[in-house]
A and B are shown apart, each in its own frame.
Chain A
């Protein structure tokens, strides 16, 4: 395998959702299995031929309006779902915060959730023990660490989740939107941590609507609109175009 400096490569990625459920779905699958199936008609294209790559140590922002396919794109990169067409390649350990509280259980204590999450991210017992203190300190939730997670505020939950994700020492950190629930202090702490992380040659991928934070943390941006990639360029020029929407000619999928 050739070792290059690209951490993430997406090539002509298509993702299509079929909107059938229940009975219709069963009928359609049975038909397909027994060979007299027709092509399902009710489809929704969430991503239409998106291509970009991210170099190791780079920060990439994904912007676009609601429903543009940003979160679907992250899911494909993280490997939660396969693209219908095209290829995705990611090098190294990935830690993703795609939704507040995913992988956490409200009835488990903070400590138990830290262990569960470290395991979900691929850590073993030894590694988890070694980083535990650091996680709790960074999150600043030591007083509540033995309480069930359902007693936490969403800000505290974010602190713990972010803290686990950065402490499993990933090569690629992926965050979807959730940083917004942290308070100003913690957001500053996160920004410093992410910048330090990038200086160490790690890759950062982020979906957000907070322009100021993105401008600080990322060098490049991808602009998605209805599943199509409108632009992939330096972050300031992408934001310029994004904010003056309509001025840019719509680029069709490659």
Chain B
């Protein structure tokens, strides 16, 4: 029923999101930088001064884990609450509803770009350097976005009907934080769990990031295939679930 310019609408919704987010702050976008930087200093202190560990370039090692994880966690929980937060829009303007959680996920990309910039600075400063396999990064990030969009679609729709969905998402993020290899190398994970880890898109993404950034090698085929499968499966389930649930959004918002 709504016939309009999807891209222009998406662009305006994304612009709205981060204008609103940053306009009334004194430090603005600096927060995107400051937050991981502070955490990095703390973790680096704990895991090199208190617990010693043999991992080289430990700050970079953590950064490769925390950047993808942070993006996922924030985008997933923003996406989940997006429909309820935009109830005024959903109840009063006949736009295609799918666009709301997707815009909410995409508006976190600036955040991500800034943190990737931070990663790049660390790479150059630590003398690891950039290699040709960095061309894989846009691909795996695109897969990650597909995955998060699927998750956001599904959970935002649930959240309209059952408002504690957001607390489920927040708790899941806390659990997930330890179930993806942020502080520990994948090689320490017992063999029988390793396959399982590769189906977890966040873990897969971190592994791919480390392969590319630290080891200067291409991520393995099986990992890329699993990541692609899970990402598109999530998007498919998300879109179908969303379509099934959206007719009654109006009634419950």
Contact = CB atoms under 8 A, between A and B. Distances in A.
B178 interface: no
Contacts of B12: 115-116, 119-120
Given A107-B24, A122-B3, A124-B5, A22 B92 contact: no
Contacts of B94: 78-80, 94, 96
Contacts of A101: 88
A153 interface: no
Contact of A124 (B8, B13, B92): B8
Contacts of B251: 17-18, 81
A108 B18 CA distance: 11
Contacts of A253: none
B239 interface: no
Given A119-B12, A123-B5, A124-B8, A108 B19 contact: yes
A65 to B, nearest CB: 22
Contacts of B2: 79, 122
Contacts of B164: 22
Interface string A98-120: 11011101011000100110011
B3 A99 contact: no
Contact of B16 (A116, A121, A122, A125): A116
Contacts of B16: 105, 108, 112, 116
B89 A103 contact: yes
A120 B95 contact: yes
B20 interface: yes
A180 interface: no
Given A116-B12, A123-B8, A103 B93 contact: yes
A183 B138 CA distance: 54
Interface string B107-146: 0000000000000000000000000000000000000000
Contact of A93 (B3, B15, B89): B3
Interface in A50-92: 75, 78-82, 90
B250 A22 contact: no
Interface string B1-31: 1111100110111011001100110000000
A122 B4 contact: yes
A102 B94 CA distance: 11
Given A96-B94, A121-B4, A25 B162 contact: yes
Contacts of A42: none
Contact of A29 (B1, B13, B161): B161
Interface in B166-194: none
29 contacts: A25-B161, A25-B252, A26-B162, A80-B90, A80-B91, A80-B93, A80-B94, A81-B247, A81-B248, A81-B251, A90-B1, A94-B94, A96-B93, A98-B92, A102-B88, A102-B93, A103-B88, A103-B92, A108-B16, A108-B20, A116-B13, A119-B5, A119-B8, A119-B9, A120-B9, A120-B93, A121-B93, A122-B2, A123-B8
Given A78-B94, A96-B94, A101-B88, 7 more contacts: A29-B161, A81-B248, A99-B88, A102-B89, A112-B19, A123-B5, A124-B4
Interface of A: 17-18, 21-22, 25-26, 29, 75, 78-82, 90, 93-94, 96, 98-99, 101-103, 105, 107-108, 112, 115-116, 119-125, 128
